[in-house]
Chain A
Amino acid sequence: ETGVTQSPTHLIKTRGQQVTLRCSSQSGHNTVSWYQQALGQGPQFIFQYYREEENGRGNFPPRFSGLQFPNYSSELNVNALELDDSALYLCASSWGWVNTEAFFGQGTRLTVV
Chain B
Amino acid sequence: GQNIDQPTEMTATEGAIVQINCTYQTSGFNGLFWYQQHAGEAPTFLSYNVLDGLEEKGRFSSFLSRSKGYSYLLLKELQMKDSASYLCAVRENNNDMRFGAGTRLTVKP
Question: Which A residues contact B (CB, under 8 angstroms)?
Answer: 2, 33, 35, 40-45, 48, 55-58, 90, 92, 97-98, 100-107
Question: Complex formed: what's the CA distance from A107 to B100 in Å?
Answer: 18
CB contacts (< 8 Å) of B41 on chain A: these are: 106
- Are B99 and A42 in contact, with the CB atoms below 8 A? yes
B43 within 8 Å of A (CB atoms): yes
CB contacts (< 8 Å) of B98 on chain A: these are: 45
- Are A105 and B42 in contact, with the CB atoms below 8 A? yes
- Are B100 and A55 in contact, with the CB atoms below 8 A? no
Question: Complex formed: what's the CA distance from A92 to B87 in Å?
Answer: 15
12 A-B residue pairs with Cβ-Cβ distance under 8 Å, sorted by A, are A33-B97, A42-B87, A42-B89, A42-B101, A42-B102, A43-B87, A44-B99, A56-B95, A56-B96, A98-B30, A104-B44, A106-B42
Question: Complex formed: what's the CA distance from A57 to B100 in Å?
Answer: 17
Determine which residue in B4, B30, B43 has the highest number of CB atoms from chain A within 10 A of its CB, and name it. B43
CB contacts (< 8 Å) of A103 on chain B: these are: 45
- Are B48 and A100 in contact, with the CB atoms below 8 A? yes
- Are A90 and B42 in contact, with the CB atoms below 8 A? yes
Question: Complex formed: what's the CA distance from A89 to B97 in Å?
Answer: 15
- Are B48 and A43 in contact, with the CB atoms below 8 A? no
CB contacts (< 8 Å) of A45 on chain B: these are: 96-99
Question: Complex formed: what's the CA distance from A58 to B2 in Å?
Answer: 12
Nearest chain-A residue to B44 (Cβ)? A104
- Are A56 and B94 in contact, with the CB atoms below 8 A? yes
Q: Closest Cβ of chain A: how far from B99's Cβ, in Å?
A: 3
Known: A42-B87, A101-B48, A104-B42. A55 touches B95 (CB 8 A): yes
Partner of B43, one of A40, A56, A58, A104: A104
Q: Closest Cβ of chain B: how far from A56's Cβ, in Å?
A: 3
Known: A41-B102, A58-B97, A92-B43. 12 other contacts (CB 8 A): A2-B42, A33-B97, A40-B101, A42-B4, A42-B87, A43-B43, A43-B97, A56-B95, A90-B43, A98-B30, A100-B48, A106-B42
